[in-house]
Structure 1
Amino acid sequence: MTDSRARFVVTGAGGYLGPHVVAALADRGHEVLAVVRPGSAAVTDPRAIRVEADILAPDFDVRSWGAPQGIVHLAWQDGFVHNSPAHLGQLSAHYRLLTAAAEAGTSRLVVLGTMHEIGYWEGAITAQTPTNPLSQYGIAKDALRRALPLALPPETGLAWARAYYIYGDDRRSNSIFRKILEAVDAGKTTFPFTSGKNRYDFIRVEELGRQLAALAEAEDITGTLNCCTGEPMSLADKVEQFIAENDLPISLEYGAFPDRPYDSPGVWGDATVIREVMARG
């Protein structure tokens, strides 16, 4: 466990997930450096120290962050565009940044991973589940996950935190929930949908932020683990729940799109480790 008040750096602090991680770390009493891109219009938590930097530039010096206890690395271009050329094009820059941070003395790295490292799978995903990514995004993330442990010094603790189906703060996401809200904005009363039978591990973005903040403190937890609920739910049930909770005047048009053959009928994370971390308070 870290000191009661430590300094943490959060990269990608202006993205979809970043503000929630920054807020969760600040809620836990830590000093937070919220790193955003130069010129970013993103609003950062007033409790954090805002830092604008191109962290993937070859000349970026991680020592400008001082001596943080840990780094929560969320920054990743085109995270919602799974076959963007940026994923593999920037892979070495992420590797360079994180290995340089470790060499500069950062003792804790929490790096955001993804269920897309696995590829097609049915059932619970554990740390031992074999990976076979089917997108540029999944390939790049999995390559970084495999490479970092071979390069980091033994005194640097790495937690690779796999995320699942994130929702909440939906206007800032690129999920089906945002698309439904936009359809309502446009005056539509139906939304074209698949069968919705596929089951996923849905986690609110605020809860994911809290899990990552707790994981940043848990220095004894290393390796690959899941940040998730561990409780699969069908896409249809989740979307219907979202429509009802928000009292939206729209209904799903089931069967308008065929189910994709490469989507798993059901996939979720084994939440054993993250539940133990969260139970520490």
Structure 2
Amino acid sequence: MKVLVTGATGFVGRHLVAALLARGCEVRAVARNAETAATLPWINDVEFIAADIHAADLDIPALTGGVDALAHLAWPGLPNYQALFHFEHNLMADYRFIKSAVEAGVSQVLVTGTCFEYGMQSGPLTEQSAPQPSNPYGLAKNTLRLFLENLQKVQPFTLQWARLFYLHGEGQNPNSLLAALDRAIDAGDATFNMSAGEQLRDYLAIDTAADYLAAILQRRDFNGLVNCSSGQPISVRTLVEQRLRERGASISLNLGHYPYPTHEPMAFWGVAERLQQLLGGNHEA
């Protein structure tokens, strides 16, 4: 199986490329920055193309020629979830790119969505939960999905929409919680400022998430939505305390220093039953 991965040098993309290679897939990796790509361990094992997928002069038939599936991860501007350019620019640019890829003959498309498509809903979230996006990023992603589902009626193709929850690991945003905690530990800080930590979230290691996405791609008959999540809620405080134990670190948690974020409910997590059903099937390279 040959997969075209956009956003291949991003946080998720770099790990998905590695997961696909580990499963015996061929990979055509696309990203804007060739210098970043050159630093990644898989660079000599893929066909790498430096390109901006939103460029008006991009030769999409040439880019997609010979691939079995497109894994579309590229999405500029994160983690600024409130920025209007998510739907003013990314939404239509991504739709045009994917539409052109399908018209060029790509029959299977996996797109990474986001738990923010569910908005401020609390508790366990299933794929049947009605989307209620409450920030521009979630709105743009959910609208792209609706656009592509309508495109399927005119130009049939398989659409695999994987909603990502909270991912952590190598390459994550340096301002994210665990990255900031690791920096504080490495610096020998006596205290770590955080919220009260009572909010419940769905956290997943990036290596695990990337392998899930690779497995979904290999289930070529699957069309539809799937939560890419652990299915296990954990409090932010518990997550931090687990990391401290893993690192053998002693640091005082300054709980309540930061207020709870207003763009997220206090408790939500993904129900992972559909994902586990997919993973239980036979994976074919």
Residue 206 of structure 2 aligns with which residue?
A: 205
Which residue of the partner structure matches residue 145 of structure 2? 145
Tell me the residue number matched to 1:77. Answer: 76
- CA positional deviation for 1:190: 0.8
CA RMSD of aligned residues (A): 1.7
1:29 and 2:24 aligned: yes
Deviation, 1:188, is 2.1
Asked if 1 retains the 8 angstrom alpha-carbon contact of 2:102 and 2:155, the reply is no
Three-state SS of the structure 1 residue aligned to 2:4 is strand
Match of 1:195 in 2: 196
**Hey, what's the Cα distance between the residues in 2 that align with 1:112 and 1:20?**
14
With over 3 angstroms needed to count, the CA separation of the structure-2 counterparts of 1:223 and 1:239, relative to structure 1, is same
CA–CA separation in structure 1 for the residues paired with 2:2 and 2:136: 33
Residues 77-135 of structure 1 show CA distances to partners (whole Å, capped at 9, x for unaligned) of 12211123431222111000101111111111000000011110111112221222121
What residue in structure 1 maps to residue 92 of structure 2? Answer: 92
Q: 1:165 to 1:38 in 2, by over 3 A?
A: closer
Preserved CA contact (<8 Å) 1:16 1:173: no
Q: CA deviation at 1:265?
A: 2.4
Paired amino acid for 2:96: R
- 1:218, 1:277 within 8 Å by CA — same for their partners in 2? yes
**How far 1:39 sits from its partner (Å)?**
4.2
- Aligned match of 1:48: 46
Separation in structure 2 between the aligned mates of residue 238 and residue 156 of structure 1, nearest angstrom: 40
Secondary structure of 1:68 counterpart: coil
Structure 1 CA distance, aligned partners of 2:276 and 2:26? 25
Residue deviations 1:155-191, cap 9 Å, x none? 3100110000101115655411111122334442111
Greater percentage in helix: 2
**CA-CA distance at 1:250 after TM superposition:** 2.2
Separation of aligned partners in 2, 1:52 and 1:223: 30
Paired positions, count? 276
- Give 1:28 shift: 0.9
SS at match of 1:90: helix
TM-score, normalised to structure 1's length? Answer: 0.92
Distance in 2, matches of 1:170 and 1:75, equals 15
Question: Separation in 2 of the partners of 1:222 and 1:115?
Answer: 19
1-structure distance, mates of 2:160, 2:172: 29
Deviation at 1:278, TM superposition (A): 1.7
Moved more, 266-275 or 78-87: 78-87
Q: Is the 8 A contact 1:77 1:86 kept in 2?
A: no
Deviations 1:32-57 (A, max 9, x none): 01111044423341321111111111
Amino acid at match of 1:82: Y
Preserved CA contact (<8 Å) 1:58 1:93: no
Distance 1:263 1:94 in 2: 25
Identity, in percent, stands at 34
Would you say the 8 A contact 1:170–1:177 is kept in 2? no
Which residue in the other structure is 2:10 paired with?
15
Task: Point out where structure 1 has 5 or more consecutive residues left out of the alignment.
Answer: 1-5
- The amino acid across from 1:48 in the alignment is V
Q: Is the 8 A contact 1:193 1:255 kept in 2?
A: yes
Whole-angstrom distance in 1 between the partners of 2:76 and 2:228: 20
Letter in 1 for 2:176: S
TM-score (norm 2): 0.91
Query: Would you say the 8 A contact 1:40–1:52 is kept in 2?
Result: no
Q: Contact between 2:31 and 2:50, CA under 8 Å: does it hold in 1?
A: yes
